[in-house]
Structure 1
Amino acid sequence: MDIAIAGGTGVVGAHVSRIAQQRGHAVRTLSRSNGVDVRSGVGLEGALRGADAVIDVLNITTLNEKQATKFFRTTTAALLAAEDRAGVAHHIALSIVGVDRAPHGYYGGKLAQENEISAGAVPWTVLRATQFHEFASQMYARTSLGPVHPVVRMRTQPVAVTEVATRLVELAEGSAQGRSRDLAGPREEDLADMMRAWARHAGRGGWMPRIPMPGEFGRAMRDGLLLPGPDAQRGSETFAQWLSAQPEG
C-alpha cells in the first residue's frame, strides 16, 4: 500500500511511519519541509495523488477549545477535500476516548474533527485511544510551578504509543469502518502515581500534590468518564513496563 501520514514527523507519526515501512508499505510524509501545508491545503492534492490511504495524527499543543477546534476543522477539511480530488479511498484519524462525554477544551476540538470527518465524502475510520504512557512526563513538565508540580486528579488507562501506531496501520490496511473499537492500555492508573513514579525513575524532584481541576472537564477526569468501555480493545504494555524501559536519570 501507499500510505500518506499527516503529522508524520510528530511523536505518534514517527511510530506510524516506522511501523508502516516495516510492514512493507510505501510512506509519504505530509509536511511543509516536503512542500505541503496541511492548514492551507497548498501542495496537498499533488502529494496525495496515487495514495491508497491517509493517516491523520496531526496535533496542536493547546488546552483552548476555540484554538483546537479551528485547527482540527481547518486541517481536516483541507485533507478531505484534497483526498476526494486525488481519489484517496480511506481516511484514518486518531482521536481520544471520551471526547463525546467530555467535549471541553482540547477534547472539544477533537470532537469537532470527528464531526468533520463523518460529514465528509471520503470513506473513513476513527480510532479513539486513551492517553499515552508519556502523559506522565508531559504533565510533569506542563504543571511546573518552580519546585512544585501539581497533579490534577485523574483516572486514566494509558496505552503504549507503539500499540496505537500499529493499530492505525492495521486499520489503514483494511476497509473503512467508521468508528472502530476504542484502544486502551491493559489497566487503570492514577495520574499522580504515574507522575511520581516517572519522577523517581528520571531523577526529578519536587512536591506533587493532588488537586482537583475545576469545571465539567475536571469532573470527567475524576469520575472516570475518560476511561474505556468494556468493549474496548486492550493493549499489553503496562505503564510500569514502559517506565522500566526508559533511561534512568
Structure 2
Amino acid sequence: MQVAVVGGTGTLGAPVVRELAARGHTVRVLSRSAPADPVPGTEHHAVDLVTGAGLDAALEGVYAVVDAGNHRGPRSARTMVEGVRALLAAEQRAKVGHHVEISIVGCERVPFAYYRTKVAQERAVTQGPIPWTLLRATQFHELIDELLGGGAKFRIAPHSAMRFQPVDVAAVAGRLADAVEAGPSGRVRDVGGPAVQTLAELAELRRRTLGQALLPFPVPPIGRAIRRVRDAALCLDSAGEAVSFDYAEWLRRRYAKPVS
C-alpha cells in the first residue's frame, strides 16, 4: 500500500515510517526537512502545511495518510487546525482513501489552549471529506522525560500530584500501522501506558535512575487545568487499553550504561 506519513521525521512519525516499511508498505515521508537517517526504501517529500507547498505532488497516488506531525509540543492553532484542513483538501484532490489521525487522551477534559486546539483538529478530521480513523494516546515517555529533564537542568524536581500514564511511542506507532491496514474505522480504542503515576513519582524515578541530587519543587494545584490533570483527566478510562512498558522501564532502556 502507498502510505504518506506527515511529520515522518518526528518522535512519533519516524517509528511509524519504520513500522510501515517493515510491513512491506511503500512509504513517503512528508516533512519540511529530509530525515537524517532515512529508512531504506522510503522517499522524502518536502511539504509545508501552512502554505500547502508540495502537498499535491507528495500525495499523488497515495491511498492512506498518517498525520503524525503534531502530537508532541505546542504548535500554533493555525498550523494544527488550518494545516490539517489544507492536508485534507489536498487528500481530496489526490483521491486519498483514508486519513489516520493521532490525538491525545482526555484532550476535551483539560481547559488548556493546546488541548482545545487538538479538539478542534479532531473535529476538522471527523467532519472532513476523507474517510478517517482517529487514535488517541497518552503522553509519550519522551515528553515526560523532556519535561523532567528541563527541571533537572535547574537542579529541581517537580513535586506534584498531577497524574500521567506515559506510553511507549513504538507501541503507538504499531497501532497507527494497524489502523492503516484496517481501513477507515472511525474512533478506535484509546491507548496508554501500563501505569498511572503522579508527576512527583515520575520525577523520583528519573532522579534515582540518573543518580541526581535535586531539590523538590512544589507545583501548587492552582487552576482548573492542573486540577483536571491531577484528577487523571489525561489518563485512560475503563474503555482504554494499556500497552507496552512503563516509564521506569523506559528510563532503564534510555539511560542504561553500556557494558565496558
Give me the TM-score of the superposition, normalised by structure 2: 0.87
Q: 1:173 aligned to 2:187?
A: no
Question: Unpaired segments of 5 or more residues in structure 1?
Answer: none
User: Residues 228-247 of structure 1 correspond to what in structure 2 (within 5 A)?
Assistant: 228-247=236-255
In 2: Cα distance, 1:98 partner to 1:230 partner: 13
Q: Deviations over 1:189-225 (max 9, x none)?
A: 2222112212332344321333134211111111112
CA contact (8 A) 1:143 1:151 kept: no
Percent identity (aligned):
40
The equivalent residue for 1:209 is: 217
The equivalent residue for 1:51 is: 62
In 2: Cα distance, 1:227 partner to 1:245 partner: 23
CA contact (8 A) 1:153 1:222 kept: yes
Supply the AA of the counterpart residue of 1:55: V
The equivalent residue for 1:22 is: 22
Aligned residue among 84, 87, 93 for 1:85: 93
Q: Deviations over 1:153-175 (max 9, x none)?
A: 31111111110000011001112
Supply the AA of the counterpart residue of 1:41: G
Go from structure 1 to structure 2 and tell me whether the alpha carbon gap of 1:145 and 1:238 turns closer, same or farther (over 3 Å shift).
closer
Supply the AA of the counterpart residue of 2:206: W
Q: Deviations over 1:137-159 (max 9, x none)?
A: 21113446732243443111111
The equivalent residue for 1:72 is: 80
In 2: Cα distance, 1:103 partner to 1:112 partner: 13
Give me the TM-score of the superposition, normalised by structure 1: 0.91
In 2: Cα distance, 1:96 partner to 1:56 partner: 13
SS for the counterpart of 1:4 is strand
Q: Deviations over 1:2-35 (max 9, x none)?
A: 1101111111111111111111111101122333
CA contact (8 A) 1:192 1:210 kept: no
Tell me how far 1:98 sits from its aligned partner: 0.3
Q: Deviations over 1:98-127 (max 9, x none)?
A: 011114221111111101111210011111
What value does the CA root-mean-square deviation take over the aligned residues? 1.8
In 2: Cα distance, 1:219 partner to 1:161 partner: 26
CA contact (8 A) 1:6 1:13 kept: yes
Tell me how far 1:229 sits from its aligned partner: 1.1
In 2: Cα distance, 1:239 partner to 1:141 partner: 14
Aligned residue among 111, 122, 140 for 1:114: 122
CA contact (8 A) 1:36 1:42 kept: yes
In 2: Cα distance, 1:213 partner to 1:108 partner: 20
CA contact (8 A) 1:73 1:112 kept: yes
CA contact (8 A) 1:202 1:247 kept: yes
In 2: Cα distance, 1:173 partner to 1:103 partner: 34
Supply the AA of the counterpart residue of 2:13: G
The equivalent residue for 2:40 is: none
Tell me how far 1:236 sits from its aligned partner: 2.8
How many residues were matched structurally? 245
Q: Which one is further off, 141-150 or 115-124?
A: 141-150
Supply the AA of the counterpart residue of 1:24: G
In 2: Cα distance, 1:136 partner to 1:100 partner: 20
Q: Which one is further off, 8-17 or 103-112?
A: 103-112
CA contact (8 A) 1:69 1:108 kept: no
In 1: Cα distance, 2:168 partner to 2:146 partner: 14
Supply the AA of the counterpart residue of 2:132: W
CA contact (8 A) 2:157 2:203 kept: no
User: Residues 93-172 of structure 1 correspond to what in structure 2 (within 5 A)?
Assistant: 93-143=101-151, 146-172=154-180
